[in-house]
Homo-oligomer: A and B are copies of this chain.
């Protein structure tokens, strides 16, 4: 598959393998294929994968982490704008990301891939990061449990709504964005009733 130079710098090889892993796991899922076969598809030896990622789960985890880090970076809301606007930017960027990288991201979130608690922590980092960003922008530094649950739930709505969108299609990005933003209103109501107490 590779056909490039047999010996690469550590960094280049690592990125190449992660890029491959992203494609591979999105398509085949975690542990659907033995490491021997995965390595062969990647054009390297099994030993090399173990050398770079420790074990099978390690390879999968690093791949997932690369994607989640990307999502977190992309959805960073602009700092110099009022909440409403920054919020819309955040949602828009997320939907845009899903539109482009949809299949891979969905395969990830849906758990079409395998997972254990560690992998789930990675995925949860995306949700918690989004939640904290929203709380911070709203100036809620000590939110109640209910507030956190409300935002967390909304983030899940966005995530899974997008996942479903990737599968079924049939709606424009704009429609999705509007849906997500209007869905936030009840959550915002909870947060504000919070603030008054």
Residues in chain A within 8 A of chain B (CB atoms) = 29-32, 110-117, 119-120, 144-146, 148-150, 152-161, 164-165, 168-171, 175-176, 179-180, 182-183, 185-187, 189-190
Tell me how many chains of this kind the complex includes: 2
Do most interface residues of chain A lie in helix, strand or loop, or is the interface mixed?
A: helix
- Supposing A148-B164, A168-B145, A189-B182 touch, asked if A116 and B156 sit within 8 A by C-beta, the answer is no
Contact of A116 among B32, B146, B153, B187 (CB under 8 A): B32
Kindly name the residue among A111, A149, A161, A165 whose own CB sees the greatest number of chain B CB atoms within 10 A.
A149
Q: Pick 21 A–B contacts, CB within 8 A, sort by A.
A: A31-B116, A112-B117, A114-B115, A114-B116, A144-B170, A144-B171, A145-B170, A146-B179, A149-B171, A150-B161, A152-B160, A153-B158, A153-B164, A156-B156, A156-B161, A157-B157, A157-B183, A179-B190, A182-B189, A182-B190, A183-B183
Chain B nearest CB: distance from A4 CB in Å?
32
Kindly name the residue among A148, A157, A176 whose own CB sees the greatest number of chain B CB atoms within 10 A.
A157
Which residue of chain B has its CB nearest to the CB of A124?
Answer: B110
Q: Residues of B contacting A180 with CB < 8 Å? A: 153
8 shortest A-B CB distances, which residue pairs?
A145-B170, A153-B161, A156-B160, A153-B157, A157-B157, A182-B186, A146-B171, A152-B164
- Please tell me if the beta carbons of A168 and B149 are within 8 angstroms of each other in the complex: yes
- Please tell me if the beta carbons of B117 and A29 are within 8 angstroms of each other in the complex: yes
- Supposing A29-B117, A116-B32, A164-B152 touch, asked if A183 and B186 sit within 8 A by C-beta, the answer is yes
Q: Residues of B contacting A152 with CB < 8 Å? A: 160-161, 164
Contact of A115 among B111, B149, B150, B187 (CB under 8 A): B111
Q: Residues of B contacting A146 with CB < 8 Å? A: 170-171, 175-176, 179
